[in-house]
Structure formats: C-alpha cells, structure tokens
Amino acid sequence: MKNKILSILLLALLALTACGKKEDAIPNNKTEGTSEISVKPDSNSNNDFKELQIVESVHATEDDNFSYTYSVIIENPNSDYEVTIPRYKVEAFDENNKSITYYEQLLPYMGPNDRIAFSSAVITKDTKAQKLNLQ
C-alpha cells in the first residue's frame, strides 16, 4: 500500500513537471538592490518600472521607548510588473541619530497594482529608540 501511494505521488510530480515549455518562460530582471521583478507577457508593456511605495505607515512607542510597533501599507504601482521577492528594511535610531538596530524582511509576492498591509515591532535592548526609518 505504501509503495502504491509513493508511486502515485511520483507519477503526479512527473506529470506536473513535464507540462512546462521553456520558450514560454517569463524573463526576469533585477532592480537596483531590493526586489526581483519579472515582466508580464504583454505586448503593450511600456517597461517603466516604478519602485514599491509606502502608502501609509503608523508607529508608536511602548515600554518607555524600548519597543516600537508599526503598521505599513505597501503598494505596487506598476500595472505591467510583478514583484516576486519584495523586501523592506527597518532601522531604529537613538536620540543622537545613531543606528541602534537594523533588519530586513521578505514580503509575500506582489502582483501588478497589489497592496499589502502588515504590522511588526522593533525591540531595542538597552537603548531607547527615538526614530524609526522604514524603506
């Protein structure tokens, strides 16, 4: 019984992988540093890629400025491009404008004209955060 199930799964996997055609592949292009994009197969494409935009963001401090919570809405303003590996960066600064923490995180796939919203927090250990920079 176990061998039959394994055989069926392998057969299904083989059938799925045999369905693609190499000449129909979508070409990939890379932007300067932050996102990988691919062009939709559209003959009317104008090839003017626009960077992802932060449409709205709010943040607040908690625990006497040792924790910054934030919410962001990001939009893909392109009608001809999808962003397959979008990333965002968060950096917190102290009162002397010195960076105290920094990290990057991947976001889910963004199709043309898509918007996504997410929330997170930045927690600083020993230094109070005075400013938060989202990119």
* CATH code, domain carrying 114: 2.60.40.3230
pLDDT, mean over the chain: 72
Which neighbouring-strand residues pair with 120? 70
**pLDDT recorded at residue 27:** 39
Q: The pTM is what? A: 0.57
Q: What is the pLDDT of residue 8?
A: 62
Q: Is residue 14 part of a domain?
A: no
Residue 72 β-bridge partners: 57, 118
Q: pLDDT tens, 63-91?
A: 777 788 888 899 999 998 888 888 888 88
Model pLDDT, residue 1 = 64
Per the structure, how many domains does the chain have?
Answer: 1
User: In terms of Cα–Cα distance, which of 129, 30, 24 is closest to 85?
Assistant: 30
Residue 31 near residue 37, CB atoms below 8 Å: yes
Classify residue 15: in a domain, yes or no.
no
Domain that holds residue 120: 53-134
Across 34-41, average pLDDT: 42
In terms of pLDDT, which residue wins out, 95 or 9?
95
Domain-located, residue 60 = yes
Average pLDDT over residues 107-120: 90
